[in-house]
Each structure stands twice: as C-alpha cells, then as structure tokens.
Amino acid sequence: MKLIYKQISENEYAVVREMLLKDMKTNENFLWALHNQPETLAVVYIEREIVAVALIIPGKKVSCLIVFAATQYRRKGIGKSVVQYYENKLCKETSKIITNFHADNEMSKKFARKLGYERNFSSAYMKHTQGKFAIGELPVRLYIDEDYPKSHALYAQAFHEMRIKVGDFPDSIVEQPSERNREAWSADTANRFTYEENDEIAAHGHLEGNEMGSVSVRTDLQEQGIGKKFVMYLCNEIYNRGYKEVVLWCVIGNNARELYDSLGFRELYIAEFAYKCIQPPKTMNI
C-alpha cells in the first residue's frame, strides 16, 4: 500500500471538501485552511484516490501538523504513516511539533498519545454571527512598521502574563522582538491594527480571513474597556470585508473569555493542543 504525497492543487479542492464534510467533528481546521490558506494543505493518495489530508505549518522552532484520514481508511495505519512522514520532513528545521483535536474525542486523543504527543493546553473555538456592533468613532488605525517596538512589547507581555495565569505554560517567557518577526508584521500591515489612548499605543490586533487573533492590551491599561471596544471594532472590520461570521480561539482559563461571552460569541468546541519534541538527525563529522 504505497502512499503518494503532494501539495494540494485547486482541482482537488472539491474532492477534499466532500471528504472533510463526512466528519464534522474533526474537519474545522481543514475547511478553514482550504478556504483561507490552501498552501498549508497536502493530500495523500493511494493510487488515484485521496485517502488523507495533512495541514502543515513549518516553523523555525515550533511547527504545526494535523492529519485527517478519510473515514473509510481509518484504523489501517494510514494516519500514523502520514504523521511520521511529515515529522521526518519537519525535524530538519524544527524541534517541536504541535497538533490539536477535539478535547472530547477519545479516539484522536489516544492516537496522539500513542504517537508521543503530550497535552500542552486547551482552547475554545468561538464564533460570532450577530453582525456588526453599534459603536462610534474609535482611535484605531492600521498598523505601520514604526509601531513594531511598542506593539510587539505590549503583545509579548500581555500574552506572557495570560499564559502564566492560565497555569499550563510554566516555562513561558516574554517573546523577544526580532527582525524576522518585524518583517512578517510589516508584510501584513493591511491586517494589523493599532488602538491608541492619549496618543500612545494601547492595544494591538491581527486579522486572518474571518479569524481575529493576537488581541492584546497594554497591561497597565487593562480592565478599562479598551479591549471590549477594540474587539467590537475588529469584528466590524471583518464584517465589512464581507464575512458572515467572526471566529477566534480563547485559551481555557483566559479572563478574556468573559468579554467574548458578553459580546455574543458562542463556543463551538474545545480543542486540546498537544506537542511532541523531536530532534533533527545528527550529522557526522568525518
């Protein structure tokens, strides 16, 4: 049973979508990627039939890998083979791989544990479908490159403090700025926003398709209503772009959950994020 791996192509989208829709509990990541980031998807064939899909996001230190096997091809070792294939490819550049699955899906959890993935944290996938908020003018503008030092500093500090409060990230550190990160933010200025208070940067947020993320308020300005107004603004921006719904992830234990609930977001499911540390092969000096 030879598996053939290839990057997904546009003429395979419909077939893959039909395959994904046969399992509504494990297809969300893949359907979102198919619509927003198809370049992250690969398909796996046996002869002329697609039997699995892999979502791969390589990273210098941490990579993401999620595998979906067609329902009729499960329990045949295909999922395991696909995971191991991409682990071997990713280990050349990364030292840690993270994956996720529904927290109440015991089969997926058992599969991940068997392959050496340990729980890291849990996060709620939430959706807003009630349309735009009635808000007045807010001091929000598009992010510019000159914002990077202060925007990154408040983002890094806010998320570090959140991780520590949650308790699932005992080794959390404040992410340091880097030229590579700055370039990535600069290349995506159309989807990054800055909230100002008294002419100072007070909050930062990022949009990716209809997903809202990286919403962070300067720690000394939290609990003053800035986060709520900023989230409403970002939701409106997504609706203005033609989307019918707004989605986001909220780590379990994050105090921001109360804000999202108050604004009408509803939880679709809770995902467990699990990780596996891998070591790149050692080279021999001869």
CA distances for 33 relative to 20, 38, 56, angstroms: 12, 5, 10
Q: pTM, whole model, 2 decimals?
A: 0.84
The mean pLDDT of the chain is 93
List the 200-208 sheet strands across, edge first: 3-7, 41-46, 49-57, 62-69, 96-102, 266-277, 118-128, 246-251, 211-217, 200-208, 192-197, 140-142
pLDDT computed for residue 110 by the predictor = 94
Q: Are 119 and 272 in contact (CB under 8 A)?
A: yes
pLDDT computed for residue 60 by the predictor = 80
| pLDDT band at 25; cut points 50, 70, 90 | confident
Q: Given a cut of 90, is residue 23 above it in pLDDT?
A: no
Q: How far apart are CA 49 and CA 69, in angstroms?
A: 12
**What's the burial of 242, exposed, middle or buried (CB within 10 Å: 0-12/13-18/19+)?**
exposed
- The residue-averaged pLDDT of 251-273 equals 95
- 207: three-class secondary structure by DSSP: strand
Q: Higher model confidence: residue 28 or residue 77? A: 77
Q: Given a cut of 80, is residue 281 above it in pLDDT?
A: no
* C-alpha closest to that of 247 among 226, 262, 228, 268: 268
